[in-house]
Amino acid sequence: MTAETVLSNARIVLEDQIVTGSVLIREGKIADVSEGAARTGEDFEGDYLIPGLVELHTDHLEAHYSPRPGVRWLKMAAIQAHDAQVVTSGITTVFDCLRMGSDEDGGFERGEMREMADALAQAARENRLRADHRIHLRCEVSTDNVLAHFQEFENDPQVGLVSLMDHAPGQRQFQTMDQYTLYYKNKRGMTDEAFAAFCARQQALSAKYAGPHRTEIAKACAERGITIASHDDATLAHVEESVGFGIRLAEFPTSFEAAKASHAAGLSVLMGAPNVVRGKSHSGNIAARDLAERGVLDVLSSDYVPFSLIHAPFVLSDEVESVSLPQALAMVTATPARTVGLDDRGRIATGLRADIVRVQRHEGIPVVRSVWREGRRVA
């Protein structure tokens, strides 16, 4: 990395406006933002210059590690493949989801995710990674072993976000049985009797474990200063519970009522970028665009399609009159960064990390041309 880098003739996306100008990078940070044409530096030729994207919820590392049922890929190879995909999608900070708690619905054995976290730390030490990777523990509170999995991360500084989930039938995302039946009975080809027994077991586990586990994990996170997320809140009672636990991020609320109440309570409401691109939820819940139109959408997550995180803001700004491009991009940069306490990134401003993305977009799907992390070109 040279001592200074100049990126010129760019459409610089700030939090509240877009200006044409140049950015000076010095020692990994943004040293100056200037309006007007410049004759020096790398010419962006009018392309957008935006902050590096901040991804809070992606299951994609797990997908690289377990690409088929029963298949486990080499952890380091899975990490590097995942890293390459997120960076070329413009993501410079990523919270990799690791599932805590396993049951007959799936998950990983005790120790597997601990080994993955160790491999992530090793990859960072060996300078294998282009993005800044952190850990998001997805805690399935209705499983009997979630605490044992969670305790393996008791002293891990990589953990910056923990979500509390319950995917049992009748809970949160699956308050009605239609989607649960589609997810489990039809996909697995269960008989009516087998599906009924499966549902009964899941409901019994939720009734026994979800409440105590939710409370214990939330308490541990509060003591360690880890941001907590709720998951699939559907009712006002769910939101009240989240507020009581000190939760700061409301992931994928399943009703407008819950999203509105979460936003009003100061929680950042997160929805999936694929939901925006597709125009609807894959699980039949509320559409993210509807929340954006009503002013209660704060954060987007790529969830299961990394490139959707750069694509969705342009879709929102094109199709939702009340949302400008700077506002839409803040949902994938400044707001997620602030939500998890990363105040050194997510904006184009003097003194912040030079996590920067060059994006070309005349119409349609944007193209990521170049990516810098802390002033070093990584893509």
* pLDDT at residue 196, as a whole number: 78
Q: Domain 1-51+345-379 in CATH: superfamily? A: Urease, subunit C, domain 1 (2.30.40.10)
Residue 212 identity: P
Query: What DSSP string describes 221-233?
Result: HHHHT-EEEEES-
- Quickly count: other Cβ atoms within 10 Å of residue 348's Cβ: 22
* 141 touches 210 (CB < 8 A): yes
pTM for the predicted model, two decimal places: 0.92
Mean pLDDT of the chain: 91
By percentage, how much of the chain surpasses pLDDT 70? Answer: 91
Q: Which of 48-52, 193-197, 311-315 has the lowest mean pLDDT?
A: 193-197
Identify the architecture of domain 53-343 in CATH. Alpha-Beta Barrel (3.20)
* Residue labelled with tokens 């030729």: 45
Angle at 259 between CA 212 and CA 296, to 5 degrees: 145
* Predicted local confidence at residue 1, as pLDDT: 45
Indicate whether 69 pLDDT > 70. yes
Q: What is the sign, positive or negative, of the torsion defined by CA atoms of 343, 347, 353, 356?
A: positive
What's the confidence (pLDDT) of residue 206? 87
Name which of 99, 114, 96, 107 is nearest 57 in CA terms.
Answer: 96
Give the gyration radius of the chain's Cα atoms. Answer: 21
In percent, the amount of the chain with pLDDT more than 90 equals: 78
The answer, yes or no, to whether residue 365 has pLDDT greater than 60, is yes
In degrees and rounded to multiples of 5, residue 229 shows phi and psi of -120, 140
**What sections of 46-111 are H helices per DSSP?**
60-65, 75-87
pLDDT in tens, 113-140: 999 999 999 999 999 999 999 999 999 9
What is the predicted pLDDT for the residue at 231?
A: 92
Pairing of strands 48-51, 4-13: parallel
Where do the domains of the chain lie? 1-51+345-379, 53-343
- Give CA separation, 237 vs 86, 216, 241, in Å: 36, 19, 6
pLDDT the model gives residue 203: 81
Q: What is the average pLDDT across 32-45?
A: 88
For 79-94, how does the pLDDT look when each residue is reduced to its tens digit (9 = 90+)?
Answer: 999 999 999 999 999 9
Residue of 277, 166, 181 lying closest to 217 (CA atoms): 166
The predicted model gives 222-251 an average pLDDT of: 95
pLDDT score of 168: 72
CA distances from 187 to 31, 181, 194, 195, 203 (A): 53, 8, 13, 11, 19
Q: Summarize pLDDT for 259-310 with one digit per residue, the tens.
A: 999 999 999 999 999 999 998 775 557 899 999 999 999 999 999 999 999 9
